[in-house]
């Protein structure tokens, strides 16, 4: 290793070890690593400058100085230099015990797992030939925008979700925008939605000159709380008295439907159109009026995203709006194509929201696998639930598990709540365990919405969730060994 310092050590049995010190600056605490090479492979132990921290040490050998307790295990610190006489004793102990589990490296001769939040490569490997054939067919046709492949996907998705029509759109964000445009939303209108969701939900409302009316979320599901919506409709803030409530826009967050029975009743009483943000919940089910319905097919329109990280993800951006209203379907088709019909005649101002055939081809290959992928995510969620029961990690609530529906939750994200979330996240990152915060700042506190007049404390449930939630890997191809590593590291991080 060019520019590095190293020490070679040969045991009495002839086993050779070489300890490499990567170059690092001493001006500031740059994270470096100590790499130990041996017959068992290599071990990389993180440390700052020349101070080595070993995590999860089962035992402490002579010469090692106990340090702080880290991640539920004993940590030791050893100040090393090139010719430190303690190095041979340390390596001897390490080679015999194999008991160190490092933030990254080897344990008992096996590499400690790096677990990404999402890895799409195994999914692609299983369907590669199908996808390539579908892409070749599009390339051979040279028909890239809309066309028969997109029309086929529209029929497939509408059937899968229980609607009569699907309209392919360029992204999940544009699907929301097109649906709101089809609903006639504009200046002076209010759209009721959640402050705890991805920005696009409220961003699309604001782009049309309308006003997002936020209602806080349920503390268990983190979906829109019907009681809060009712209170908002019956007693809106004084500054919003002149606005016209026009649309109720519930978000089916993380793969679980919002509580649609009371929300649909509120929409009926107050004459609101319901547009569902089902970007994270395609296939998720809810029992409405005694019948099992799927996310996106309960309101007037439902919006999906095919962003690659979704349960049904394309090879880029893509989205769809489904509806069982023929007039809305026709309006959406015009809106996505500059408001044009027939060609070069424009009865309205639309946008360039068309879905391309390459995305549609990929999605048509993936759709038949979707229910199996949902099931795998639920199995992973059940293992997490069991592992975290009675611990300092709060699993997500599956509100409809007892309702007799297969897809009561599809776990686009498995989101737990933990104390000291940011510190836990940092420890997870150090251990190279993928995790993410959805969402660190509720929408009512975003700088671009300051003119709406909301303040810290207006939506305490959303604000608390923003401080505590952490998403864990839950993609279908996650192995049990990988999941066990996620559980081990998270529980250790929480107990630190």
Same domain, 310 and 445: no
> Are 126 and 96 contained in the same domain?
no
What's the chain's Rg over C-alpha atoms? 27
Using CA atoms of 442, 448, 454, 459 in order, give the dihedral in degrees to the nearest 10.
-10
Q: Mean pLDDT check: name the lowest of 63-67, 390-394, 451-455.
A: 63-67
Element (H, E) at 150: helix 148-161
Q: Are residues 331 and 467 in the same domain?
A: no
pLDDT > 70: what percent of the chain? 77
- Note the pLDDT of residue 14: 52
Residue 237 has a pLDDT of 87
User: Parallel, antiparallel, or unpaired for β 41-48 and 31-38?
Assistant: antiparallel
Residue for token pair 């070993």: 54
| Dist CA 387 CA 469 (whole Å) | 17
Predicted confidence (pLDDT) per residue in 308-348, tens digit: 999 999 999 999 999 999 999 999 999 999 999 999 999 99
- The verdict on 176 and 85 lying in the same domain is no
Q: Tell me how far the alpha carbon of residue 428 is from its chain's centroid.
A: 16
Domain region containing 270: 121-367
- Determine, yes or no, domain membership for 19: yes
What per-residue confidence (pLDDT) applies to 9?
43
Helices 260-269, 226-234: axis angle to 10 degrees equals 20
CA distance 469 to 415: 6
For helices 148-161 and 121-141, the axis angle rounded to 10 degrees is: 140
Q: What pLDDT does 241 receive?
A: 85
Which of 49, 82, 111 represents a domain boundary (last residue)? 111
How many other C-beta atoms can be found within 10 angstroms of the C-beta atom of residue 281? 31
* Cα 225 to Cα 221, 235, 254, 270, 282, distances in angstroms: 9, 16, 15, 16, 21
CA dist list (Å): 437 to 88, 108, 421, 426, 441:
43, 32, 9, 11, 10
pLDDT reading at 425 higher than 90: yes
Residues 98 and 245 in one domain: no
As for how many domains the chain has, the answer is 3
The Cα–Cα gap between 418 and 492 comes to 12
Instruction: Give tens-digit pLDDT for 233-288.
Output: 999 988 888 999 999 999 999 999 999 999 999 999 999 999 999 999 999 999 99
Q: Which residue has the higher pLDDT, 39 or 350?
A: 350
**Strand ranges, E, within 377-418:** 414-417
- List Cβ neighbours of 367 (8 Å cut-off, separation of 6 or more): 153, 156, 157, 160, 312
Final residue belonging to a domain, choices 367, 397, 432: 367
Q: Which two tokens stand for residue 101?
A: 């589990």
Span 294-311, pLDDT tens digits: 999 999 999 999 999 999
Statement to judge: residues 145 and 256 lie in one domain: yes
For residues 340 and 353, state if they share a domain.
yes
**Per-residue pLDDT, 15:** 52
Q: Which of 36-45, 50-59, 255-264 has the lowest mean pLDDT?
A: 50-59
Contact present, 122 and 128 (Cβ < 8 Å)? no
Out of 13-17, 203-207, 236-240, 430-434, least confident range: 13-17
Summary mean pLDDT of the chain: 83
In a domain, 399, yes or no: yes
Domain end, chosen from 318, 345, 367, is at: 367
Domain of 431: which CATH number?
3.90.1150.10
Residue 288: HSE in the Cβ half-sphere, 13 Å Cα cutoff: 19
- The answer to whether residue 116 sits within a structural domain is no
Q: Are residues 357 and 443 in the same domain?
A: no
Question: Is residue 33 domain-resident?
Answer: yes
Same domain, 217 and 140: yes
- For residue range 82-128, list pLDDT tens digits in order: 444 544 444 444 433 333 333 333 333 334 578 999 999 999 999 99
Number of H helices, E strands in the chain: 13, 20
Write out the H or E segment, with its range, that includes residue 230.
Answer: helix 226-234
Answer yes or no: do 173 and 266 share one domain.
yes
Q: What is the CATH number of the domain that holds 193?
A: 3.40.640.10
Same domain, 404 and 462: yes
* Residue 263 neighbours by CB under 8 Å, 6+ apart: 224, 226, 229, 248, 250, 274
What mean pLDDT is predicted for residues 462-473? 98
Same domain assignment for residues 289 and 241: yes
Segment 355-367 mean pLDDT: 98
What tokens does 297 get? Answer: 């097919």
């Amino acid at each position: 290793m060019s520019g590095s310092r190293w020490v070679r050590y040969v045991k009495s049995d002839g086993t050779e070890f070489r300890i490499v010190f990567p170059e690092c600056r001493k001006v500031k605490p740059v994270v470096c690593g100590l790499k130990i090479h041996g017959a068992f492979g290599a071990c990389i132990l993180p440390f700052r400058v020349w101070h080595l921290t070993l995590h999860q040490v089962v035992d402490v050998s002579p010469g090692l100085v106990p340090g702080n307790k880290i991640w539920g295990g004993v940590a030791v610190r050893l100040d090393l230099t090139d010719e430190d006489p303690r190095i041979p004793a340390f390596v001897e102990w390490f080679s015999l015990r194999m008991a160190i589990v490092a933030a990254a490296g080897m344990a008992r001769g096996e590499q400690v797992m790096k677990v990404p939040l999402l890895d799409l490569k195994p999914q692609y490997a299983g369907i590669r030939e199908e996808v390539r054939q579908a892409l070749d067919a599009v390339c051979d046709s040279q028909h890239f925008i809309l066309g028969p492949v997109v029309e086929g996907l529209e029929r497939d998705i509408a059937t899968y979700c229980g609607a009569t029509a699907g309209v392919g759109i360029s992204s999940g964000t544009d699907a929301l925008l097109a649906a709101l445009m089809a609903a006639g939303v504009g200046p002076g209108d209010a759209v009721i939605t959640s402050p705890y969701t991805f920005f696009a939900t409220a961003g699309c409302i604001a782009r049309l000159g309308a006003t997002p009316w936020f209602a806080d979320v349920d503390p268990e599901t983190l979906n829109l709380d019907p009681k809060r919506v009712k209170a908002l409709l019956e007693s809106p803030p004084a500054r919003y008295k002149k606005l016209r409530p026009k649309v109720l826009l519930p978000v089916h967050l993380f793969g679980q439907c919002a509580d649609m029975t009371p929300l649909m009743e509120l929409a009926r009483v107050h004459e609101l159109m319901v547009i569902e943000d089902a970007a994270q919940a395609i296939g998720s089910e809810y029992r409405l009026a005694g019948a099992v319905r799927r996310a996106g097919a309960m309101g007037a329109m439902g919006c999906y995203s095919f962003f690659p990280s979704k349960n049904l993800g394309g090879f880029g951006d893509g989205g769809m709006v489904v509806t069982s209203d023929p007039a809305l379907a026709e309006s959406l088709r015009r809106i996505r194509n500059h408001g044009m019909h027939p060609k070069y005649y424009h009865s309205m101002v639309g946008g360039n929201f068309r879905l391309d055939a390459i995305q549609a081809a990929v999605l048509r290959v993936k759709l038949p696998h979707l229910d199996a992928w949902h099931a795998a995510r639920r199995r992973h969620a059940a293992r997490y639930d069991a592992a975290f029961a009675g611990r300092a990690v709060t699993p997500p609530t599956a509100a409809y598990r007892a309702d007799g529906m297969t897809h009561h939750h599809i776990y686009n994200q498995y989101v737990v709540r933990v104390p000291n979330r940011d510190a836990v996240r940092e420890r997870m990152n150090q251990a190279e365990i993928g995790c993410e915060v959805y969402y660190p700042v509720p929408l009512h506190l975003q700088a671009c919405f300051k003119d709406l007049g909301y303040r810290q404390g207006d939506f305490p449930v959303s604000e608390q969730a923003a401080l505590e939630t952490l998403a864990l890997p839950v993609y279908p191809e996650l192995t049990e060994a990988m999941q066990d590593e996620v559980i081990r590291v998270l529980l250790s991080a929480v107990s630190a």
